[in-house]
Structure 1
Amino acid sequence: MKTFYQDFLIRDWVPGDRAAAAAIIGSVLAEYGLRWEPTGADQDVLKIETFYQSRGGEFWVVEQHGKLVGTAAYYPIQRGRNAVEIRKMYLLPDSRGLGLGRFLLHQLEGTIAARGFDEIWIETASVLQEAVKLYENSGYQPAEGVETARCDRVYVKILTQTSIVNPQE
């Protein structure tokens, strides 16, 4: 994966990105009063090869002027029908409010649909108000069964030919 949005480069994660990606996620969690959980909900960030690459998922990083400013990922899950979960979609504060989050979500959806999946699940916390608004405005429906302790919301989107916006728009 390699694409651009304004002056942001969105590309596949490489092992040299591990520390910077973890730092971004930890920083954003702290900003919202949430804890970084390296042996729990965030262990996937430290073991991307195991949690994403070997399971048929993808982990992307967002770069601006050579510095990582965001992350986005998904992997197949057992919940639902032929489903994936979008995870670790975080942007540093200076990268927000520019449409980048919406673009990333559309890129993820387009990639997931092209790979033949039928459902996308997302868990989040109410305190992440911008994320909640983005998901709700993008056709995600509230669902039941939160599996991550720090999350209190779960959403699902059923993919159809008409539900996915062209990711290049």
Structure 2
Amino acid sequence: MELIPYSYEFQASLEEFLEIMYSYRGYKFDPTGLHSDIRNIENIYQSPGGNFWIIIENAALIGSVGLKILNKIDKIGEIKRYFVLPLYQGKGIGTLLMEHLLLNAKKNELHILRLDTMRKSIAARKIFEKYGFQEINKYNENEIAEIFMELKLKK
């Protein structure tokens, strides 16, 4: 198993992976609309100071997470596209992704991390709560998100 930063050579695999993950949750993956950030990872995540990571096992993409910078001045980041294939859930991969993302958020000197999620994302919500994320008021325009959370990072 290998945790690596996204590079364009993984684009097709990432889109196939996200197709599976959204379908699993009962949604349609829309890389030209609602999920168009996936086709512009370098500009949306990597260039502004965040990043996007994937986990590969036996040449298959099995997990992903993005760190998007929402506000450079107030040092606010957002967790995006935090997914682990159902077959691999419960094996510590979500925790590995979260630990890696938090380490990078601290390296970037972020003060706050935000995320949005759905009620049915029970495994992910357990990890968010384990790390101290608290529910907050809606902070973005995501129409399908039901829960909004925030973590204040220690300085």
TM-score by length of 1: 0.85
Matches within 5 A, 1:7-156: 8-78=1-71, 81-145=74-138, 146-156=140-150
> Does the aligned pair in 1 maintain the 2:49–2:108 contact within 8 Å?
no
Q: Offset at 1:80?
A: 9.4
2-side partners of 1:55 and 1:26: how far apart?
A: 26
Moved more, 48-57 or 118-127: 48-57
Q: Give 1:45's aligned amino acid.
A: I
Q: Give the gaps of 5 or more residues in structure 1.
A: 1-7, 162-169
Q: Give 2:137's aligned amino acid.
A: E
1-side partners of 2:55 and 2:129: how far apart?
A: 23
> Does the aligned pair in 2 maintain the 1:24–1:91 contact within 8 Å?
no
Q: Give 1:56's aligned amino acid.
A: G
Q: Give the gaps of 5 or more residues in structure 2.
A: none
**Shift in alpha-carbon separation, 1:75–1:125, aligned structure 2, 3 A:** same
Query: Alignment partner of 1:55: what SS?
Result: coil
Q: Offset at 1:41?
A: 3.0
2-side partners of 1:36 and 1:68: how far apart?
A: 16
- 1:1-60 deviation digits (Å, cap 9, x = unpaired): xxxxxxx20001110101111111121111111221223331111111221122221011
The sequence identity of aligned pairs, in percent, is 22
2-side partners of 1:143 and 1:74: how far apart?
A: 19
Task: Count matched residues.
Answer: 154
Q: Give 1:49's aligned amino acid.
A: E
The CA RMSD measured in Å over matched residues stands at 1.7
Query: Alignment partner of 2:47: what SS?
Result: helix
**Shift in alpha-carbon separation, 1:152–1:68, aligned structure 2, 3 A:** same
Paired position in structure 2 for 1:167: none
Query: Alignment partner of 2:56: what SS?
Result: strand
TM-score by length of 2: 0.92
